[in-house]
Amino acid sequence: MQADFAWLRGQPARADNIARERPAENAAALRALSQEAAARGLTLPPEFVEFFRSPELQGRIRSCTDCFLDLSPVFVPSPVADGFLLRFLADSQGCIFWYLYLLPGSPGHCVVASPDFYGAEAEQWQEEPPDPNQIIFCEESFEWFLCRFWLENEIWYCGYEKRPVFAEGRQYLENYGRTA
């Protein structure tokens, strides 16, 4: 993958997509994050910034569980290791949240997930404190994560809509079966 979203650009726009719920809030959060990233010595991945600046790309990804883009306006110190968490995707029922994990002074990142919410103080709604042991690794880069998220959801929609699985989906399922 070349961090250019070539795999996504040719996909159809979807009315029911992950960007429809909070577009104005996500755009405002991205503007605030750019300034905060510099102050903390963090580098937002270029593909992350490009995706959050592109309603066209966002509109090509749908979720069978009604997940939505939910970009936090702040970086939260990670309760494990020395990095920061940045929430960008939420399950519609608050069952799981996805985060970028970033290290100060490093352009690298990965995607992690947790059933616990990490965000700004004003956003807190959980009664129990988050459990750092619930944070799990998902993918080594934002674009890899997004591609897998798209693939898995589109495969589900093939079954739901009773249509054949597309070539990339069949290849993914074949590779998945070999590693499971």
| pTM of the full structure | 0.92
Integer Cα distance of 112 and 90 in angstroms: 12
Integer Cα distance of 42 and 20 in angstroms: 28
What pLDDT shows up at residue 35?
87
> Residue 147: inside a domain, yes or no?
no
pLDDT at 180 over 80: no
Helix (H), strand (E) counts: the chain: 6, 6
> Residue 130: inside a domain, yes or no?
yes
DSSP β-bridge partners for residue 84: 77, 102
Residue 66 CB contacts under 8 Å (≥ 6 apart), including other chains: 91, 92
Render pLDDT for 125-135 as a digit per residue (tens, 0 to 9): 667 888 899 99
Render pLDDT for 57-88 as a digit per residue (tens, 0 to 9): 999 999 999 999 999 999 999 999 889 999 99
> Residue 150: inside a domain, yes or no?
no
> What sign results for the dihedral spanned by CA atoms 18, 23, 28, 31?
positive
- CA count, 13 A, side-chain hemisphere, 177: 6
pLDDT at 99 over 90: yes
DSSP-assigned letter for residue 130: P
Give the pLDDT mean for 17-24: 95
> Residue 129: inside a domain, yes or no?
yes
Per-residue pLDDT band at 113 (split at 50, 70, 90): very high
Integer Cα distance of 27 and 55 in angstroms: 10
> Residue 28: inside a domain, yes or no?
yes
What pLDDT shows up at residue 107?
85
Tell me how far the alpha carbon of residue 20 is from its chain's centroid: 15
Q: Residue 3 corresponds to which tokens in the numbers above?
A: 């961090």
Domain containing residue 61: 6-141
> Residue 44: inside a domain, yes or no?
yes
Give the pLDDT mean for 32-46: 92
Query: DSSP letters of 50-86?
Result: HHHT-HHHHTT---TT--EE---SS-EE-SSTT-EEE
pLDDT at 100 over 90: yes
Domain count, the chain: 1
> Residue 148: inside a domain, yes or no?
no
